[in-house]
Structure formats: C-alpha cells, structure tokens
C-alpha cells in the first residue's frame, strides 16, 4: 500500500465542521481515526482527542452481551470499500455505546462508508457516516409490541365469539384460523394448513367447497339461509344434520386482490329451519 498522505490542517478543519456525523478514517489495516465531525462527536458522546489516532474498533469497543458482533460488519464494509473503491451502505446496525459509568447504552445506526481519492487516483481516506436512528427503531418496536398485543387480544375475542368463525386462504382453501365454536361444529378435526376438502369431505360432497370457489374467484359475498349440513362425527362415524345461517365473504389484501374467504356460521334451532337439498338454503343463491 502506498504511503498515506496526511490531511492538511485546513482539510481537517473543513471535515470537522461538516454538519452531518462523519468519521474520517485512514485506509490502513486498522482504519485509524484521523478526525471526526463535531456532529459525530455529539452523536457518540465522544471527544476528538479521545478518538484521533485510534483504530476504529478500539475507539468504540463492542458490548460483550451482544451475540452479533457488528464491529465485524463495520470492518467488512470498510474493507469492501477499500478493495472495490466503491461506496457501501450497511444494513441497520445495533452498536451500543460505552457510557462514562462503564455501562452500554442501546443504539441503532444507519451507516454508509465511501472512499475519497487523491490526484493520483489512490484512496486518500475513507468517510464513515453514522446516523443515530435509535429513537425511531425503539418507537417502531414499541408500536409493533402494541400491535402484537392488540392482535393477540383480537384473536382471543374471535376465538370466543358465540358463532362459528374460520378463515381459509388460497384457491385450495387452506384453514388459517378456526375458533372454538367452528371446531365444535365440525367435530374438532381442523388442523391449520389443511384444505377444506381434505379436512371435512362432507363440505365438498354437499357443494360448500364449490361455493368457496365462487366467492374466491368473484369476490362476491355469499349468504346461506336456513341451510342443512350433514356432518360425520370423526369419533363414532355417526352422521348428524345441523341447520345454519352462514356467510362466505372474500378476504382482500391492500391491492384489493382476494386472498381467502371468511366463514361465519350460526347454528339454528331445528324448529326454525326447513329441510333443503342444497347449501343454498330454501331460496335461490344469494350473492352480494
């Protein structure tokens, strides 16, 4: 490697006054710190005197409790820039900072490294930019935690709803959710991921899977009224007939594409229904 030409005092002062958090590194094996911008010192709670002349990882020791050694990621990125002469943007990095009391403070950074060349086309120094995004990352994590709690609470409510609820996804109608009432109705034989036709063959034999096909393909909601369904008891093999009001409603993604079908069914007292030969109920098929 050719000898490193030191930065002139005016060049150092210019780099140190940059408004963004920059670290200026020598293109040597240890990536020795030449200087840092004032914005970088503020972001890392450092002083210029404490950083200058130190290898970058020595200046910023890694937290021993972190499984992933992101210092290795930083060195790999800097070495890539040194070998290719091209800038490199790193994925989001967790790199905790050592505080004055000897403890580490949790920190997340967006990092970019790039080379600066001299007049002969040699790498004169490397620029390392670190933007502290800790507040944003922690806020996002907190929001995700709240969403997870909300979703878990919603799932508990749906599981306990006094009506049979299920969702099936894809053209094969694979079960992705069933609540307690649906399991009880079908005979406690639903395993998530199974196709409706495989899990409950009676539904296919009596035309219900064909209705699922129609709702999935058209996106139109289907309403079944006073519908008789004959089910097999998986334990005793005995047949029983139930009467239902039910709805098949298409589930859409953000682009409005059908991804599955929501099943909502209420079992009716026998005295409130009339026998039917099809799952359409006594009336003609009802779509909306």
How is the chain classified by DSSP, letter by letter? Answer: -PPPPPPPHHHHHHHHT-SS-EEEE-SSTT-BEEEE-HHHHHHHT--HHHHTTSBHHHHSPPPTT-SS-HHHHHHHHHHHHHHH-S-EEPPPEE-PEEPTTS-EE--EEEEEEEEEE-TTS-EEEEEEEEEE-HHHHHHHHHHHHHHHHHHHHHHHHHHH-SSEEEEEETTTTEEEEE-HHHHHHHTS---TT-BHHHH-HHHHHTTHHHHHHHHHHH---EEEEEEEEEEE-TTT--EEEEEEEEEEEEEE-TTS-EEEEEEEEEEPPGGG----SSTTBSSS-EE-
* Tokens found for residue 94: 């967790």
- Looking at 139-153, 180-194, 244-258, which range is the least confident one? 139-153
User: Does position 197 have pLDDT exceeding 80, yes or no?
Assistant: yes
Q: If you compute the radius of gyration of the chain from its CA atoms, what whole number of angstroms results?
A: 32
- Looking at 8-12, 233-237, 251-255, 258-262, which range is the least confident one? 8-12
CA torsion, ordered 156, 157, 159, 162, to nearest 10 deg: 160
State residue 148's pLDDT score.
80
- Domains belonging to the chain, first-starting first, are 9-137 (3.30.450.20), 161-287 (3.30.450.20)
With a CB cutoff of 8 Å and minimum separation 6, the contacts of 257 are none
Indicate the average pLDDT of the chain: 86
User: Does position 44 have pLDDT exceeding 60, yes or no?
Assistant: yes
> Mean per-residue pLDDT for 166-176?
95
State residue 158's pLDDT score.
80
> Mean per-residue pLDDT for 134-160?
83
State residue 288's pLDDT score.
58
User: Does position 286 have pLDDT exceeding 80, yes or no?
Assistant: no
Percent of the chain's residues with pLDDT above 70: 90
Q: What is the pLDDT of residues 72-83, one digit of tens each?
A: 889 999 999 999
Q: What is the pLDDT of residues 8-24, one digit of tens each?
A: 777 778 888 888 999 99
- Looking at 7-21, 62-76, 162-176, which range is the least confident one? 62-76
* Tokens found for residue 109: 């950074």
Between 142 and 180, name the one with better pLDDT.
180
Between 66 and 168, name the one with better pLDDT.
168
**Can you give the pTM of this predicted structure?**
0.53
Q: What is the pLDDT of residues 85-96, one digit of tens each?
A: 999 999 999 988
Alpha carbon distance 88, 75 (integer Å): 12
């Amino acid at each position: 490697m050719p000898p490193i030409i030191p930065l002139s005092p005016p060049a150092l002062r210019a780099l140190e006054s940059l408004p963004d958090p920059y670290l200026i590194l020598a293109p040597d094996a240890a990536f020795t710190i030449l200087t840092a911008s004032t914005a970088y010192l503020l972001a890392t709670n450092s002083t210029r005197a404490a950083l200058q002349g130190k290898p970058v990882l020595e200046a910023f020791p890694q937290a021993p409790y972190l499984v992933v050694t992101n210092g290795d990621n930083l060195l790999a990125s800097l070495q890539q820039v040194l070998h290719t002469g091209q800038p490199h943007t790193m994925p989001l990095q967790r790199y905790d900072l050592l505080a004055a009391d000897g403890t580490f403070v949790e920190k997340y950074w967006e990092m970019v490294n790039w080379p600066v060349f001299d007049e002969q086309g040699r790498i004169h120094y490397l620029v390392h930019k670190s933007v502290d995004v800790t507040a944003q990352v922690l806020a996002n994590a907190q929001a995700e935690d709240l969403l997870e709690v909300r979703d878990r609470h919603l799932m508990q409510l749906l599981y306990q709803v006094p009506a049979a609820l299920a969702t099936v996804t894809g053209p094969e109608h694979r079960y992705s959710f069933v609540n307690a009432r649906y399991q009880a109705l079908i005979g406690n034989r639903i395993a998530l991921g199974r196709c409706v036709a495989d899990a409950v063959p009676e539904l296919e034999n009596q035309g219900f899977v064909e209705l699922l096909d129609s709702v999935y393909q058209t996106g139109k909601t289907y309403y079944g009224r006073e519908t008789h369904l004959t089910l097999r008891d998986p334990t005793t093999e005995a047949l029983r007939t139930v009467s239902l009001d039910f709805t098949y409603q298409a589930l859409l993604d953000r682009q409005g594409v059908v991804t599955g079908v929501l099943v909502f069914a209420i079992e009716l007292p026998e005295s409130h229904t009339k026998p039917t030969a099809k799952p359409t109920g006594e009336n003609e098929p009802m779509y909306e």
